[in-house]
Structure 1
Amino acid sequence: MAQNSTDQFFKSTVLGHPSGLFVLFFTEMWERFSYYGMRSLLVLFLTASLFDEGWGWPREHAMALFGSYVGLVYLSTMMGGYFADKIIGFRYAVLVGALLMTLGHASMAIETPWSIYLGLGLLVIGNGFFKPNMTSIISEMYKDRPEKKDGAYTIFYMGVNAGAFIGIILCGYLGEQVGWSLGFGLAGVFMLFGLIQFWLAQNIFGKIGLKPVKNDANSIEAQDTDKRVPFTTWQLILIFIMVALGLLWIINAPATTISDGAINVFGFLGEQGNNIAILTALGLFLVLLVYRFTQYSSITRDKLIAVAFFALLSVFFWAIFEQSPGTLTIFANDYTDRSLDGASANIFRIVNTCLVVVPLGIISWVLILLFKQTFAKYKWANLVLSLSFIIVWGIAIWMLVNQFNSENLEIPASWFASLNSLFIITLAPLFSKWWESKYNPSANVKYGIGMFLLGLGMACVAFGAAGIEPGAKTASVSIIWLILVYLFHTMGELCISPVGLSYVSKLVPARMIAFMFGVWYLAVAIGMKGAGVFGENVDKIADENGISYFFWLLTIVSVAVGVISIVFQPIIKKLMHGVR
């Protein structure tokens, strides 16, 4: 076997994959547990009354902060990816990110204004180091076994969704039913477990992810024969200006809203200063992007334009899809009848018990398989992992017993957000079979179907909210509408989310992958911030026309973008030059 071969990782396997994959699986699971667990509580905490120990913010202020937070989370991945690639390596980037996120969750548990803002800042930076580099380690581990890579990513993303699902249920329950600090703190506890487990077991990855060493003969640049177009001085200056404007805006916009204009870096530009700043940044970005496209060969340029088209569609998708932790959670909290009794309460208790116990049971079984392979060499990592599962099982059983013993059961508002992960785990294999069949649609049609499903979900909640009068602050809409929203939105996500990054890797020349991934994550970040901007206006629209009108507007936007995607199919197909 060749000295540099990654076949060495297959000497110790679990379910036919390297044991190292499952170290990453559990590390990522606890990170997603913490991220989604905290995120499910953020808007609820900010808008909860002082009587309920929240901050009593208007929804507009909460959504402004939330939008900037999730937008910065995705922007930070470009920074983390750069540091990992050029300076510290994937492995230490993961450790730095996990440590910063642990400190961020601990800071949020204190619940003072300075600690919440500090915590969010640490979470943003930590996520930037962590998120892009876990998948990079997997890619390196399977470099000589490409036929196994799809299965590896499937297993990995099961861990992602399992962590998100359990995190939302447990952190949400503790935060809403016991105390916000416990919900935020629990997220930090399991991030810490993930950090320690990864640190103690990191030797299982051999030399993968260590500090990068330059090797010109094997570099991507050396292997790529396409025309090189380095960034010139004026282009770098332009990038600096638009990055500075963008970062200032994404931080200043919520600060201006929350402080009622007292804090406004762009105040010298007038009342529309924030809008002028971000439109200027976007304008400069488009100028640079178009100019650089003109510098490449015609085939490369065509493929880059196709990627940019899908990135633009993704902005709208994420802006509407990410209403989940914002306006949809507010709708669940204030406008949905979550009180159950009698037979309906018993049905929920049984269903919820199955939803919690079955995934935890399956993951615990995988944990036992990992122990059999790695306990001798990585005893302490396995003991930390065992302790984390004992704690999570304890909290889960305690929660379920409480729900069975309560006479009047109330579903936590955050619980509905967990349905997204549940539906992904359930439906992903079906969609995967569809994509592998002869009926596999083109990229444009997939995007179109995804946007139509997104619109259908919003139409469900809009229809369910039809009886809510303009200006109403509470209502008792059936929970079925929210369940349908998450079902259709998850199906839409399965059509769009995996497709985008796949086409970046297929259409973009190897040495430009990093730049175009940056463009892609910028589009996602804009979409995330757009979700906050939509949410900021929910009360204005609801007071004038009713909250149903707000969701109908999102339905129309979704369907319109879906139509555009399908109409442009012949043009984009030509630009892709045979890539499917």
Structure 2
Amino acid sequence: MSDLNKRKIVESVPQKGFFGHPKGLFTLFFTEFWERFSYYGMRAILVYYMYYEVSKGGLGLDQQTALAIMSIYGSLVYMSGIIGGWFADRLFGTSKAVFYGGILIMLGHIALAIPGSLAMFFISMVLIIIGTGLLKPNVSSIVGEIYSIKDNRRDAGFSIFYMGINLGGFLAPLIAGTAGMKYNFHLGFGIAAVGMFLGLMVFMFTKKTNLGLAGTLIANPLSQAEKKKVFTLFGLAAVIVAILIIIAILTDALTVKTFIALVGVLGIAIPIAYFVTMYRSPKTTNDERSRIIAYIPLFIASIMFWAIQEQGATILASYADKRTQLDFAGIHISPAWFQSLNPLFIIIMAPVLAWVWVKLGDRQPTIPQKFSLGLLFAGLSFLVILLPAYFGGTHSLVNPLWLVLSYFVVVIGELCLSPVGLSATTKLAPAAFSAQTMSLWFLSNAAAQAINAQIVKFYTPETEMIYFGVIGAASILLSILLFLMSPKLQRFMKGIR
């Protein structure tokens, strides 16, 4: 998008009206708040819905299969962001991508809210995956559009927007999660659908007055000739995929296990293809190639971190349900409530970590050192949760404060790694691949969850200590290795700190 178009967009947005920020931030804050409310409300009870018995309102799947599907679902959500970004950049703009994505998410939650078969469940997953891929990356892009590049409110605006994400994530398990676990899973999914509906209403009725041209201009539109070629390729690809799926179904080759394995391969293969393409491109300079080399260990570290953090919605969710004492301090705790801990601790601790980095100034750790700290805390969070089994055995119920502590420790790691990773990605990205490198960063989460889908089958109450211990120790060892490599990686970064 040209600088002239960027200026036109900023000029079209009322620059005061939401805590001293552009009015458009109100629209985007509450759109994303409700979208995250719907997503985390659904996610708080989804794994329970899959493995609870049919007599308890669930689908009755094997628990290990349910945990693997949950991981695959998370992986595909992050992969779909690449497609959503492409459609927005080349076909219909970010505003329409957000709107279409919200509709698909809402329909997906409605499908979950209707008692049905396993087929209906998978249809809902497809709708939510595609919808989230359209909405999530593009609503963040619009936040960037409503500020000029030199606007010193820009970082604060993203911080406010990020707070909206975590507020939605905090409230959703308490409301939709409680309804789903106490009354009926489908009621919980219905509340998630209502949340997305409210987000769509906010977006539809305030975007004209608050957002101006933001989200309406297509960054790199397809020409008519390109459209014809692209739609032909898409059509052929759709036909080929449909034929392959039909053949696979008829020959019993397409099963949940083979699909999980396929996504696992894609989760690793796609990032490798990205790295090779960027490194070998004639548009990449020598300094940029050096920075790509430095970025690879950070990417691997990110995969390791998210492989632990994302198990908060799978293994630790199951742990909360089956291994935790839920009658505590005179109240009955819903296992879904533990899903509120991550966003709650982020809301509390993010300002603290930000203050620490500012206070340290030039003495703060380098990018690789911060990543190593993130891995250290992630590994410690898994060592924390194996201690109850070490002291009390694997068959006694665990004090819920152990689980609270584990979530808290991993959040410290997340705040050392996640925002730093976003910033490092923008700094280390080759100029010709700046947007695609950001997509690559999110693929580290997709790869992590694709790997998780393969390893969750090794978790049982009997193997609990070994499972948490091996993964936690691996993260700590990788943390030490990355810390030792930090000076050399810093040299490869060619001046980036």
Closer/same/farther in 2, CA of residues 124 and 456 from structure 1, 3 Å limit: same
1:486 has 2:475 as partner: no
Q: Which residue of structure 2 aligns with residue 264 of structure 1?
A: 253
Correspondence list, 1:173-322, <5 A: 173-203=178-208, 204-212=210-218, 263-265=252-254, 282=268, 286=272, 289-290=275-276, 292-295=278-281, 296-322=284-310
Q: Which residue of structure 1 aligns with residue 17 of structure 2?
A: 13
1:331 has 2:248 as partner: no
Q: Which residue of structure 1 aligns with residue 333 of structure 2?
A: 411
| CA–CA distance in structure 1, aligned partners of residues 79 and 342 of structure 2 | 23
Closer/same/farther in 2, CA of residues 193 and 515 from structure 1, 3 Å limit: same
Q: Which amino acid aligns with 1:212?
A: I
Q: Secondary structure at the match of 1:18?
A: coil
Closer/same/farther in 2, CA of residues 292 and 168 from structure 1, 3 Å limit: same
2:104–2:127: 8 Å Cα contact kept in structure 1?
yes
> CA shift at 1:39, angstroms?
0.6
| CA–CA distance in structure 1, aligned partners of residues 274 and 135 of structure 2 | 29
2:98–2:135: 8 Å Cα contact kept in structure 1?
yes
> CA shift at 1:149, angstroms?
0.8
| CA–CA distance in structure 1, aligned partners of residues 53 and 473 of structure 2 | 33
Which protein has the larger Cα radius of gyration, Structure 1 or Structure 2?
1
| CA–CA distance in structure 2, aligned partners of residues 334 and 273 of structure 1 | 28
Q: Which amino acid aligns with 2:73?
A: Y
| CA–CA distance in structure 1, aligned partners of residues 259 and 195 of structure 2 | 41
| CA–CA distance in structure 2, aligned partners of residues 53 and 144 of structure 1 | 51
Q: Secondary structure at the match of 2:494?
A: coil
> CA shift at 1:288, angstroms?
6.9
Choose from 128, 131, 134 the match for 1:129: 134
**Stretch of structure 1 that moved more, 475-484 or 277-286:** 277-286
1:101–1:127: 8 Å Cα contact kept in structure 2?
yes
| CA–CA distance in structure 2, aligned partners of residues 134 and 118 of structure 1 | 24
Q: Which residue of structure 1 aligns with residue 72 of structure 2?
A: 68
2:91–2:221: 8 Å Cα contact kept in structure 1?
no
1:89–1:209: 8 Å Cα contact kept in structure 2?
yes
2:98–2:139: 8 Å Cα contact kept in structure 1?
yes
> CA shift at 1:56, angstroms?
2.3
> CA shift at 1:55, angstroms?
2.0
| CA–CA distance in structure 2, aligned partners of residues 171 and 273 of structure 1 | 29
| CA–CA distance in structure 1, aligned partners of residues 313 and 263 of structure 2 | 27
> CA shift at 1:114, angstroms?
2.1
Q: Which residue of structure 2 aligns with residue 518 of structure 1?
A: 439
Gaps of 5+ in 2: 223-229
| CA–CA distance in structure 2, aligned partners of residues 512 and 414 of structure 1 | 40
Choose from 474, 480, 491 the match for 1:574: 491
> CA shift at 1:469, angstroms?
5.0
Q: Which residue of structure 1 aligns with residue 449 of structure 2?
A: 528
2:75–2:449: 8 Å Cα contact kept in structure 1?
yes
2:267–2:450: 8 Å Cα contact kept in structure 1?
no
Q: Which residue of structure 2 aligns with residue 425 of structure 1?
A: 347
Q: Which amino acid aligns with 1:210?
A: T
| CA–CA distance in structure 2, aligned partners of residues 263 and 424 of structure 1 | 45
Q: Secondary structure at the match of 2:153?
A: helix
**Stretch of structure 1 that moved more, 415-424 or 287-296:** 287-296
> CA shift at 1:536, angstroms?
2.4
> CA shift at 1:9, angstroms?
3.4
The share of aligned pairs that are identical, in percent, is 31
**Stretch of structure 1 that moved more, 325-334 or 281-290:** 281-290
Normalised TM-score (structure 1): 0.75
> CA shift at 1:278, angstroms?
5.6
2:264–2:453: 8 Å Cα contact kept in structure 1?
no
Gaps of 5+ in 1: 217-235, 346-408
Q: Secondary structure at the match of 1:528?
A: helix
Q: Which amino acid aligns with 2:54?
A: L
Q: Secondary structure at the match of 1:108?
A: helix
Normalised TM-score (structure 2): 0.87
> CA shift at 1:468, angstroms?
6.0
| CA–CA distance in structure 1, aligned partners of residues 435 and 390 of structure 2 | 46
Choose from 463, 473, 478 the match for 1:556: 473
Q: Secondary structure at the match of 2:314?
A: helix
Aligned residues: 469
| CA–CA distance in structure 2, aligned partners of residues 433 and 121 of structure 1 | 41
> CA shift at 1:45, angstroms?
1.1
2:89–2:221: 8 Å Cα contact kept in structure 1?
no
Closer/same/farther in 2, CA of residues 275 and 528 from structure 1, 3 Å limit: closer
Q: Which residue of structure 2 aligns with residue 360 of structure 1?
A: none
CA RMSD of aligned residues (A): 3.1
**Stretch of structure 1 that moved more, 95-104 or 41-50:** 41-50
1:318–1:531: 8 Å Cα contact kept in structure 2?
no
2:72–2:260: 8 Å Cα contact kept in structure 1?
no
Q: Which residue of structure 2 aligns with residue 23 of structure 1?
A: 27
Q: Secondary structure at the match of 1:521?
A: helix
| CA–CA distance in structure 2, aligned partners of residues 25 and 274 of structure 1 | 34
> CA shift at 1:330, angstroms?
0.6
